[in-house]
Amino acid sequence: MIIVTGGTFGLGQSITVELARRGHQVVAFGLSTPQISSTAQGVQSLMAELDGAGLSADVLEADVSRAADVQRVVDHTIARYGAIHGLVNNAAIGPLGTVLDTDEETFDRIVSVNLKGTYLMSRAVLPYMKQAGGGAIVNVGSGAGWGKPNMAAYSASKGAVVALSAAMAYDHLHDRVRVNVAIPGGGGIVSGMSVGRVGGDTEAFLRRPTPGTAAGRSVTGRDLANAVAFLLSDDAATISGTVLDVGCFAGQGGPVPSKH
Protein backbone atom coordinates (compact mmCIF):
# COMPACT_ATOMS: atom_id res chain seq x y z
CA MET A 1 0.00 0.00 0.00
CA ILE A 2 1.57 3.28 -1.15
CA ILE A 3 0.61 6.94 -0.60
CA VAL A 4 1.52 9.49 -3.30
CA THR A 5 1.39 13.17 -2.40
CA GLY A 6 0.60 15.52 -5.26
CA GLY A 7 -0.44 12.32 -6.99
CA THR A 8 -3.39 13.63 -8.98
CA PHE A 9 -1.68 15.58 -11.78
CA GLY A 10 1.52 15.81 -13.82
CA LEU A 11 4.46 13.80 -12.52
CA GLY A 12 2.41 12.61 -9.56
CA GLN A 13 -0.26 11.30 -11.89
CA SER A 14 2.36 9.33 -13.81
CA ILE A 15 3.65 7.85 -10.56
CA THR A 16 0.15 6.95 -9.35
CA VAL A 17 -0.78 5.25 -12.62
CA GLU A 18 2.49 3.33 -12.93
CA LEU A 19 2.29 2.04 -9.38
CA ALA A 20 -1.32 0.95 -9.93
CA ARG A 21 -0.26 -0.71 -13.20
CA ARG A 22 2.31 -2.70 -11.26
CA GLY A 23 -0.36 -3.99 -8.90
CA HIS A 24 0.10 -1.67 -5.93
CA GLN A 25 -2.80 -0.31 -3.93
CA VAL A 26 -2.38 3.45 -4.13
CA VAL A 27 -3.84 6.40 -2.23
CA ALA A 28 -3.15 9.59 -4.19
CA PHE A 29 -4.03 13.08 -3.06
CA GLY A 30 -3.73 16.68 -4.18
CA LEU A 31 -5.65 19.94 -4.38
CA SER A 32 -8.49 20.75 -6.75
CA THR A 33 -7.40 24.37 -7.32
CA PRO A 34 -4.20 25.43 -9.11
CA GLN A 35 -1.35 26.47 -6.82
CA ILE A 36 1.02 29.36 -7.34
CA SER A 37 3.03 29.00 -10.59
CA SER A 38 1.44 25.62 -11.37
CA THR A 39 -1.29 24.40 -13.70
CA ALA A 40 -1.95 21.29 -11.60
CA GLN A 41 -5.62 21.01 -10.67
CA GLY A 42 -8.45 18.56 -10.21
CA VAL A 43 -8.53 14.79 -10.50
CA GLN A 44 -10.33 14.36 -13.82
CA SER A 45 -7.16 13.67 -15.81
CA LEU A 46 -6.00 11.03 -13.33
CA MET A 47 -9.38 9.33 -13.16
CA ALA A 48 -9.66 9.25 -16.95
CA GLU A 49 -6.21 7.66 -17.31
CA LEU A 50 -6.90 5.09 -14.61
CA ASP A 51 -10.29 4.21 -16.12
CA GLY A 52 -8.81 3.96 -19.60
CA ALA A 53 -6.19 1.51 -18.38
CA GLY A 54 -8.64 -0.52 -16.30
CA LEU A 55 -6.90 0.53 -13.09
CA SER A 56 -8.04 1.99 -9.78
CA ALA A 57 -6.68 4.07 -6.91
CA ASP A 58 -8.07 5.96 -3.94
CA VAL A 59 -8.08 9.66 -4.85
CA LEU A 60 -8.46 12.27 -2.12
CA GLU A 61 -8.30 16.05 -1.85
CA ALA A 62 -5.88 17.21 0.84
CA ASP A 63 -3.17 19.82 1.47
CA VAL A 64 0.20 18.25 2.29
CA SER A 65 1.23 21.34 4.27
CA ARG A 66 -1.62 20.91 6.77
CA ALA A 67 -1.07 18.36 9.53
CA ALA A 68 -4.82 17.71 9.89
CA ASP A 69 -5.13 16.91 6.16
CA VAL A 70 -2.12 14.63 6.29
CA GLN A 71 -3.55 12.76 9.26
CA ARG A 72 -6.89 12.38 7.47
CA VAL A 73 -5.14 10.75 4.50
CA VAL A 74 -3.22 8.40 6.77
CA ASP A 75 -6.35 7.53 8.79
CA HIS A 76 -8.21 6.76 5.53
CA THR A 77 -5.36 4.54 4.36
CA ILE A 78 -5.09 2.57 7.59
CA ALA A 79 -8.86 2.15 7.88
CA ARG A 80 -9.11 0.87 4.30
CA TYR A 81 -5.90 -1.13 3.89
CA GLY A 82 -4.58 -1.72 7.41
CA ALA A 83 -0.96 -0.86 6.60
CA ILE A 84 1.34 1.56 4.77
CA HIS A 85 4.34 0.10 2.97
CA GLY A 86 5.46 3.03 0.82
CA LEU A 87 5.30 6.81 0.58
CA VAL A 88 6.14 9.05 -2.37
CA ASN A 89 6.59 12.69 -1.36
CA ASN A 90 5.99 14.32 -4.73
CA ALA A 91 3.85 17.39 -3.93
CA ALA A 92 5.72 20.62 -4.67
CA ILE A 93 5.39 24.15 -5.96
CA GLY A 94 8.18 26.10 -7.62
CA PRO A 95 7.67 29.80 -8.28
CA LEU A 96 10.69 31.46 -9.87
CA GLY A 97 12.54 34.34 -8.27
CA THR A 98 15.65 35.60 -6.51
CA VAL A 99 15.65 36.44 -2.81
CA LEU A 100 14.99 40.05 -3.81
CA ASP A 101 11.78 39.44 -5.73
CA THR A 102 10.39 36.55 -3.66
CA ASP A 103 8.01 37.95 -1.07
CA GLU A 104 7.82 36.44 2.40
CA GLU A 105 4.41 34.86 1.83
CA THR A 106 5.60 33.07 -1.30
CA PHE A 107 8.78 31.90 0.44
CA ASP A 108 6.77 30.50 3.34
CA ARG A 109 4.36 28.69 1.01
CA ILE A 110 7.18 27.07 -0.99
CA VAL A 111 8.87 25.80 2.16
CA SER A 112 5.54 24.75 3.66
CA VAL A 113 4.61 22.53 0.71
CA ASN A 114 7.99 21.26 -0.44
CA LEU A 115 9.80 20.75 2.86
CA LYS A 116 7.23 20.82 5.64
CA GLY A 117 4.91 18.60 3.58
CA THR A 118 7.65 16.00 3.25
CA TYR A 119 8.26 16.15 7.00
CA LEU A 120 4.57 15.95 7.92
CA MET A 121 3.86 12.96 5.68
CA SER A 122 7.00 11.10 6.72
CA ARG A 123 6.28 11.71 10.39
CA ALA A 124 2.73 10.43 9.96
CA VAL A 125 3.60 7.18 8.15
CA LEU A 126 6.84 6.16 9.86
CA PRO A 127 5.19 4.64 12.96
CA TYR A 128 3.08 2.37 10.71
CA MET A 129 6.12 1.35 8.64
CA LYS A 130 8.07 0.54 11.80
CA GLN A 131 5.13 -1.45 13.13
CA ALA A 132 4.99 -3.42 9.87
CA GLY A 133 8.70 -4.23 10.02
CA GLY A 134 9.87 -1.75 7.39
CA GLY A 135 8.95 0.27 4.35
CA ALA A 136 10.22 2.70 1.74
CA ILE A 137 9.99 6.46 1.29
CA VAL A 138 10.87 8.15 -2.01
CA ASN A 139 11.18 11.93 -2.00
CA VAL A 140 11.03 13.64 -5.39
CA GLY A 141 13.82 16.17 -5.55
CA SER A 142 15.16 18.61 -8.13
CA GLY A 143 18.48 19.55 -9.67
CA ALA A 144 17.69 22.99 -8.27
CA GLY A 145 18.47 21.51 -4.88
CA TRP A 146 22.14 22.22 -5.67
CA GLY A 147 21.26 25.81 -6.60
CA LYS A 148 20.07 27.23 -9.91
CA PRO A 149 19.52 30.78 -11.20
CA ASN A 150 16.24 32.53 -10.39
CA MET A 151 15.07 29.67 -8.14
CA ALA A 152 16.24 30.85 -4.72
CA ALA A 153 13.38 29.68 -2.49
CA TYR A 154 12.64 26.59 -4.57
CA SER A 155 16.32 25.62 -4.57
CA ALA A 156 16.49 26.09 -0.81
CA SER A 157 13.47 23.86 -0.26
CA LYS A 158 14.70 21.10 -2.55
CA GLY A 159 18.22 21.19 -1.13
CA ALA A 160 16.66 20.77 2.29
CA VAL A 161 14.69 17.75 1.05
CA VAL A 162 17.95 16.05 0.02
CA ALA A 163 19.45 16.72 3.46
CA LEU A 164 16.28 15.64 5.28
CA SER A 165 16.18 12.43 3.25
CA ALA A 166 19.76 11.55 4.17
CA ALA A 167 19.08 12.24 7.85
CA MET A 168 15.95 10.09 7.78
CA ALA A 169 17.85 7.29 6.06
CA TYR A 170 20.33 7.26 8.95
CA ASP A 171 17.66 7.59 11.65
CA HIS A 172 15.51 4.73 10.37
CA LEU A 173 18.11 2.31 9.02
CA HIS A 174 17.52 -0.14 11.87
CA ASP A 175 13.76 0.23 11.49
CA ARG A 176 14.25 -1.20 7.98
CA VAL A 177 12.74 1.93 6.45
CA ARG A 178 14.58 2.99 3.31
CA VAL A 179 14.62 6.67 2.31
CA ASN A 180 15.81 7.79 -1.12
CA VAL A 181 15.50 10.74 -3.51
CA ALA A 182 14.55 10.58 -7.20
CA ILE A 183 15.33 13.62 -9.35
CA PRO A 184 13.87 14.26 -12.81
CA GLY A 185 16.45 16.08 -14.93
CA GLY A 186 17.47 17.07 -18.42
CA GLY A 187 14.85 19.77 -18.88
CA GLY A 188 11.75 19.48 -21.02
CA ILE A 189 9.77 17.31 -18.61
CA VAL A 190 6.13 18.32 -18.81
CA SER A 191 4.59 18.92 -15.39
CA GLY A 192 2.12 21.30 -13.80
CA MET A 193 5.04 23.22 -12.31
CA SER A 194 7.20 23.47 -15.43
CA VAL A 195 4.32 24.53 -17.67
CA GLY A 196 3.07 26.91 -14.99
CA ARG A 197 6.38 28.74 -15.10
CA VAL A 198 5.65 29.79 -18.70
CA GLY A 199 2.13 30.97 -17.95
CA GLY A 200 0.48 27.62 -18.65
CA ASP A 201 1.49 27.59 -22.35
CA THR A 202 2.48 23.97 -23.01
CA GLU A 203 3.47 24.66 -26.62
CA ALA A 204 5.79 27.49 -25.56
CA PHE A 205 7.35 25.22 -22.96
CA LEU A 206 7.94 22.44 -25.49
CA ARG A 207 9.61 24.87 -27.91
CA ARG A 208 12.29 25.78 -25.37
CA PRO A 209 15.71 24.16 -25.97
CA THR A 210 16.68 21.51 -23.42
CA PRO A 211 19.79 19.41 -22.85
CA GLY A 212 17.77 16.19 -23.00
CA THR A 213 19.05 12.86 -21.69
CA ALA A 214 21.24 9.95 -22.68
CA ALA A 215 18.12 8.45 -24.28
CA GLY A 216 18.22 11.24 -26.84
CA ARG A 217 14.99 12.80 -25.62
CA SER A 218 13.51 14.60 -22.65
CA VAL A 219 12.43 12.73 -19.53
CA THR A 220 8.77 11.73 -19.29
CA GLY A 221 6.61 11.24 -16.24
CA ARG A 222 6.79 7.51 -16.76
CA ASP A 223 10.61 7.60 -16.70
CA LEU A 224 10.41 9.12 -13.24
CA ALA A 225 7.64 6.72 -12.20
CA ASN A 226 9.76 3.72 -13.23
CA ALA A 227 12.61 4.93 -11.03
CA VAL A 228 10.26 5.56 -8.11
CA ALA A 229 8.74 2.10 -8.51
CA PHE A 230 12.21 0.56 -8.43
CA LEU A 231 13.16 2.41 -5.23
CA LEU A 232 9.93 1.22 -3.60
CA SER A 233 10.47 -2.39 -4.67
CA ASP A 234 12.28 -5.31 -3.07
CA ASP A 235 14.86 -4.97 -5.85
CA ALA A 236 16.09 -1.90 -3.93
CA ALA A 237 16.04 -3.67 -0.56
CA THR A 238 19.56 -2.53 0.38
CA ILE A 239 19.40 0.98 -1.10
CA SER A 240 18.88 3.91 1.27
CA GLY A 241 20.24 7.44 1.53
CA THR A 242 20.70 7.56 -2.23
CA VAL A 243 19.94 10.23 -4.84
CA LEU A 244 18.86 8.65 -8.13
CA ASP A 245 19.17 11.07 -11.03
CA VAL A 246 16.56 10.33 -13.71
CA GLY A 247 17.80 12.56 -16.50
CA CYS A 248 20.77 14.79 -17.04
CA PHE A 249 23.11 14.93 -14.05
CA ALA A 250 20.78 17.15 -12.06
CA GLY A 251 23.18 17.31 -9.13
CA GLN A 252 25.61 19.32 -11.24
CA GLY A 253 23.17 22.19 -11.60
CA GLY A 254 23.16 23.94 -14.93
CA PRO A 255 24.84 26.69 -16.96
CA VAL A 256 24.36 30.25 -15.82
CA PRO A 257 22.64 32.19 -18.63
CA SER A 258 24.49 35.10 -20.21
CA LYS A 259 23.72 38.57 -18.92
CA HIS A 260 21.43 40.53 -21.25
Domain ranges within the chain, ordered by starting residue: 2-250
C-alpha 185/C-alpha 198 separation (Å) is 18
Instruction: List, for residues 49-105, the tens digit of each pLDDT value.
Output: 999 999 999 999 999 999 999 999 999 999 999 999 999 999 999 999 999 999 999
Give the span between the Cα atoms of 197 and 95, in whole angstroms.
Answer: 7
Residue-level pLDDT at 32? 83
Instruction: Answer yes or no: 170 catalytic.
Output: no
pLDDT of residue 63: 97
Q: Which CATH number fits domain 2-250: 3.40.50.720, 3.40.50.2300, 3.30.230.10, 3.40.50.620?
A: 3.40.50.720
Note whether 185 and 249 are within 8 A (CB): yes
Mean pLDDT, residues 103-122 taken together: 98
**What distance lies between CA 58 and its chain's CA centroid?**
18
Mean pLDDT value across residues 140-145: 94
The lowest-confidence range among 99-113, 119-133, 179-193 is 179-193
Q: What is the pLDDT of residue 161?
A: 98
- Cα distances from 101 to residues 54, 96, 163, in angstroms, run 46, 9, 26
Give residue 146's pLDDT band: very low, low, confident or very high (50, 70, 90): very high
Distances (CA, A) of 58 to 90, 198, 213: 16, 31, 33
pLDDT value of position 27: 98
In three-state secondary structure terms, 257 is coil
**Segment 107-116 mean pLDDT:** 98
pLDDT reading at 200 higher than 60? no
Tell me which of 81, 119, 128, 154 is the catalytic residue: 154
**For residues 50 and 13, is the Cβ–Cβ distance under 8 A?**
no
